[in-house]
Structure 1
Amino acid sequence: MAEFSAEILLFLLAAGFVAGFIDSIAGGGGLITVPALLLAGVPPVTALATNKVQGLFGAGMAAVTYARKGHVNLRRQLKPAALSFAAALLGALSVNALPTELIRWILPILMVAIALFFALKPGLDDSDRHQRLTPAVFALTFAPLIGFYDGLLGPGAGAFYMLAFVAMAGHGILKATAHTKLLNFASNVGGLAGFLLVLSPLWIIGLAMGVAQMAGAYVGSSLASRIGARLIKPLLVIASSAMALKLITDLF
């Protein structure tokens, strides 16, 4: 951390805390941490790799906190998490072989659609509803599919997991949020493993921001566990809309 001033370091730690708070509730923490790393002068590709390092801590803390509150059984998620990890690793290794630019043009439309879904669909609360896929089929389809995307590109992966758990698995908002975190953690690990084959992140900065992410994730997931859909839905709509706007500005 010698190359960073105390002010820049505090700025990055604050960004990590806020990102951990928001990501533990609605996803989209990378909207805060990646720009913060870029503003601190970190090269873009290194910033993405460092972001994967610190993001692990927030997702992991959120998963554990939701499990302790009784909203998810992490042992039952081990198989889909393993599939998410493997698919994310494959996605990271495929980044130069697939039309990622085309995907970047489609992403803002998908993020707006997710925001509209959670904003306008009636009856979305913390109650479970009709299950369209069994847990086994969900684990074999949506878990690796979204994991692959997370390794390939990443933005909005948490929102995609959320949508899948609500629309396909029939989970209520709070339960879907809780179930998202371990899969997001696993796909972050897979994506990071892919990055490590070609470059090295800023480990000390990533780990320091990770500690701040853990603190923010603990506060956010604890708050979401108490308030549920009344907090999660509006934050998810805001995060998805902000992500769509960021993706559009990046394109132009």
Structure 2
Amino acid sequence: MILFIIFGVGLVAGFVDAIAGGGGLIMLPGLLFSGLPVGSAIATNKLCGTFGALTSSLKFAQAKQIDWRACIVMGIPAVIGAYIGSSSIDKLPNDWAEPLVIALMVVITLFVVFNPGFGMKKSGEGEKMRSDHAASKNTTLKSATLKSTELSSNLSPNSSPNPSSNPSPNLSPKRWIFGIAAGGVIGFHDGFFGPGTGIFLVFSLLSLWSLDFLRGTGTTKVINLMTNVTALITFAAAGHIDYSKGIWGALGVGIGSLVGATCATRQGAKIIKPIFITVTIALIGKLALDYLNKQF
């Protein structure tokens, strides 16, 4: 019976995580409820998360909603940072981590809420819209070409009729520097503390790379997969993973992630953004309660 509960919890966790992250908030309590000790539950949750990240990454890749350059620029430093962070758990005090993460997430939430256009303008949905209207465009190709010619004659040489049509901006030295730094810092946070990693990645990708929520989420899944595999190897080598329960959880998370990623790629930023805000607020509440319980 408990295995079916883990599977069900995994379905929900995978669905939410594929759209906005935060699946660990759902999966980890389910594993603890099954009787696993904290260390084993965390390691087993990483197994589930890896399956979910793999499934959703494949779906986002199929929908062409991943910025592979950002994955390299931020992903490699994130893996290195995650390794350093996990190696520093017993060497550095982590009392400062919780309040800092809570404060940063509050700032991110307020910024996203009070900037309605953030993450919405440069949408990968443009490809889908162009595909959906391909037939109508073909029937009016002659007139459209004429209008385009007339428009281009009125534009200056340095102007562009659709500056947001390129879903992946050109890499500048500034993006390289900030992308590498952000990847390393977020990766360190993932290995050292953990909660909020996906949220920080999405926000960084939207801010530094001008991606929308859809493409930013897809790119985040690949980076998450890279860091998860690194941690999973470490946990597996230490023998902390409970495979009997982890496989059921991973199966549920994998299926849930597939459904969630499918929903995200079809609905785009309009569904991802509100769920992102909801998950962020929920994570802030959980971290704040945990922190207050430790203080009093």
Q: Give the TM-score, by structure 2 length.
A: 0.77
| Structure 1 residue 82, shift from structure 2 partner | 3.1
Paired letter, 2:95: E
Q: Distance in 2 between matches of 1:228 and 1:218?
A: 15
Higher relative contact order (CA 8 A, sep 6+): 2
Following superposition, which runs of at least 4 residues in structure 1 exceed 6 angstroms of deviation?
A: 129-133
Paired letter, 1:67: A
Q: Distance in 2 between matches of 1:104 and 1:54?
A: 24
Other-structure match for 2:255: 215
> Residue by residue, what CA displacement relative to the aligned partner does 1:125-164 show, whole Å, maximum 9, x if unpaired?
4333788875533442111211111111111100000110
Q: Does 2:277 match 1:237?
A: yes
Q: Does 2:115 match 1:121?
A: yes
Q: Does 2:164 match 1:170?
A: no
Q: Which runs of 5+ in 1 are unaligned?
A: 1-6
- What percent identity do the matched residue pairs reach? 33
| Structure 1 residue 78, shift from structure 2 partner | 4.3
1:145–1:160 CA distance, 2 compared to 1 (3 A): same
Structure 1 segment 199-210 matched on structure 2, within 5 A: 199-210=239-250
Q: Distance in 2 between matches of 1:207 and 1:180?
A: 23
Contact 1:87 1:190 in 2 (8 A): no
Paired letter, 1:241: I
Contact 1:20 1:215 in 2 (8 A): yes
> Residue by residue, what CA displacement relative to the aligned partner does 1:14-55 show, whole Å, maximum 9, x if unpaired?
111111110111000010011111111111111111111110
Paired residue total: 246
Match of 1:44 among 23, 32, 38: 38
Q: Distance in 2 between matches of 1:38 and 1:18?
A: 16
Q: CA RMSD in A?
A: 2.1
| Structure 1 residue 188, shift from structure 2 partner | 1.5
Contact 1:151 1:190 in 2 (8 A): no
Q: Which runs of 5+ in 2 are unaligned?
A: 123-163
Contact 2:77 2:181 in 1 (8 A): no
Q: Give the TM-score, by structure 1 length.
A: 0.89
Bigger CA radius of gyration: 2
| Structure 1 residue 215, shift from structure 2 partner | 0.6
Match of 2:102 among 108, 112, 119: 108
Structure 1 segment 122-141 matched on structure 2, within 5 A: 122-128=116-122, 136-141=176-181
Q: Distance in 2 between matches of 1:191 and 1:216?
A: 22
Other-structure match for 1:159: 199
1:141–1:54 CA distance, 2 compared to 1 (3 A): same
- Give secondary structure in 2 for the equivalent of 1:208: helix
Q: Does 2:48 match 1:65?
A: no
Contact 2:28 2:42 in 1 (8 A): yes
1:94–1:138 CA distance, 2 compared to 1 (3 A): same
Contact 2:70 2:179 in 1 (8 A): no
Other-structure match for 1:30: 24
Other-structure match for 1:3: none
1:125–1:79 CA distance, 2 compared to 1 (3 A): closer
